Amino acid sequence: MSGGDPEAAREQAAAWLMRFHEGPIALEEELELELWLEAHPANREALASIARAWRGAGEAAEVPELVAVRADALKALSQTDRRAPRGWRPELRHALGALAACLLLIVATFHFYPRGETYRTGIGERRVVLLDDGSRLSLDAASAVEVRYDGERRALRLLGGRARFEVAKDPRRPFTVTAGDRMVVATGTAFSVELFRAEVRVVLYQGSVAVLEDGPADQAPRHVLLQGDGRTPADRMLAPSTALIIPTGASAAARLEAVDTARSSAWEQGQLVFSDEPLGVAVERVNRYSGASLAIEDPVTAALPVSGTFNAGDTEAFVDGVVTLYGLRKLRRGETLILRAPER
């Protein structure tokens, strides 16, 4: 097995990983593995690569829509002669191919987003799209979603703004929504994803989702972690009527907030409802409905809490409200109206 054929090395590495999965290996097998690893550098590289993919499969095993695909590969392997990789029977090679396809599906779902059809809305415009699989996509104003469906996956990317997804059940085709470097994996559920400059927000209306973050291309995605102990996957605590707020900073942890789902989806009826929202977040939403752009330049003003209900597009009423509430100053710079803290 000295060789150097990368494909053969990956097949043998996959067989070794399956052997490890079955339980402790004998001394004779340990020696055989060591000889195989030393025989050619490609063998060690193949085992490391397959191990990373295997770990990714293990992490993704809790995601319902990936279970069936992974089960198919394992079932195919269970029907073959599970011996250490000495004799390569055709059916074993076929089964290992099924396993490799499963692992590649998981990795590709997380790291490959081919270009597809893009749905957009302009300032002040909202749109509802019925996708090919029966899923429903609702776009907020000034938003864009790229959609790519094929026989193995349903990959969507939120390019900007906000969108709500009502997902048609199809357990064999993962439904993923990427926003920045965060990904939501769902099946048969309803949720929204919103992309801001400083954070990503996921609101769960029904069902459950997994929320992951991309890392290096050769590593499996990791679960987004909650503030606090820094070890709890956020999606395990994300229940309906809850929002997950994920800062864009690489080291920042996510937090959960309870939400009124009727109020949080009021934008679909042309209203913007804020409940102790940071002023910076509220301004980004207001800007989707108005050609007169608002801006805040200092973080203290951006963090001021805002509550109230406004008609989408009525920027003047929003500005009057926050200026009166906090005594903010208004500065015109070209087409942009800047809100500043009062002078002291």
Compare 44 and 286 and report the one with higher pLDDT: 286
* Vertex 23: Cα angle to 221 and 39 (nearest 5): 75
Residue 260 DSSP code: -
- pTM for the whole thing? 0.66
> Exposed, middle or buried, 136 (CB in 10 Å: 0-12/13-18/19+)?
middle
- Which pLDDT belongs to residue 171? 76
Look over the chain and give the mean of its residue pLDDT values, rounded to a whole number.
79
- Which pLDDT belongs to residue 61? 44
The CA-atom distances, in angstroms, between 143 and each of 82, 172, 194, 204, 287 are 51, 28, 9, 19, 11
Helices (H), ranges, the chain? 6-22, 27-39, 41-60, 64-78, 90-111, 234-237, 261-264, 279-287, 299-302, 315-326
Res. 250: pLDDT tops 90: no
Structure tokens at 174: 């993962």
Nearest alpha carbon to residue 140 among 206, 224, 203: 203
Work out the widest C-alpha separation in the chain, in whole angstroms: 82
- Which pLDDT belongs to residue 43? 83
Residue 216 — pLDDT band, cuts 50, 70, 90? low
Compare 72 and 281 and report the one with higher pLDDT: 281
State the DSSP string of 195-241: E-SSEEEEEEEES-EEEEE---TTS--EEPBBTTTS-SBHHHH--TT
Question: What number is the average pLDDT over the span 31-35?
Answer: 77
Place of tokens 């290992």: 96
Compare 237 and 218 and report the one with higher pLDDT: 237
Compare 292 and 234 and report the one with higher pLDDT: 234
The dihedral through the CA atoms of 185, 188, 189, 194 has a sign that is positive
What is the Cα–Cα distance from 289 to 122, expressed in whole angstroms?
9
Question: pLDDT digit string (tens) for 35-54?
Answer: 888 888 888 888 777 666 65
What is the Cα–Cα distance from 175 to 188, expressed in whole angstroms?
9
Which residues have CB under 8 Å from 116's CB, separation 6+?
Answer: 146, 147, 148, 149, 155
State the DSSP string of 275-329: EEEEHHHHHHHHHTT-SSEEEE-SHHHHT-EEEEEEETT-HHHHHHHHHHHHT-E
Weakest-pLDDT range from 63-67, 140-144, 198-202, 223-227: 63-67
Residue 63 — pLDDT band, cuts 50, 70, 90? very low
- For the chain, report the end-to-end CA distance as a whole number of angstroms: 78
Q: In whole angstroms, what separates CA 177 from the centre of its chain?
A: 5
Angle between helix 41-60 and 6-22 (nearest 10)? 50
Compare 80 and 146 and report the one with higher pLDDT: 146
Other C-beta atoms within 10 Å of 67: how many?
Answer: 14
What is the Cα–Cα distance from 177 to 155, expressed in whole angstroms?
6
State which H helix or E strand residue 192 sits in: strand 190-195
Res. 16: pLDDT tops 80: no
Weakest-pLDDT range from 114-118, 196-200, 252-256: 114-118
Structure tokens at 193: 């994803």
Question: pLDDT digit string (tens) for 77-110?
Answer: 455 444 444 444 444 455 555 555 555 444 444 4
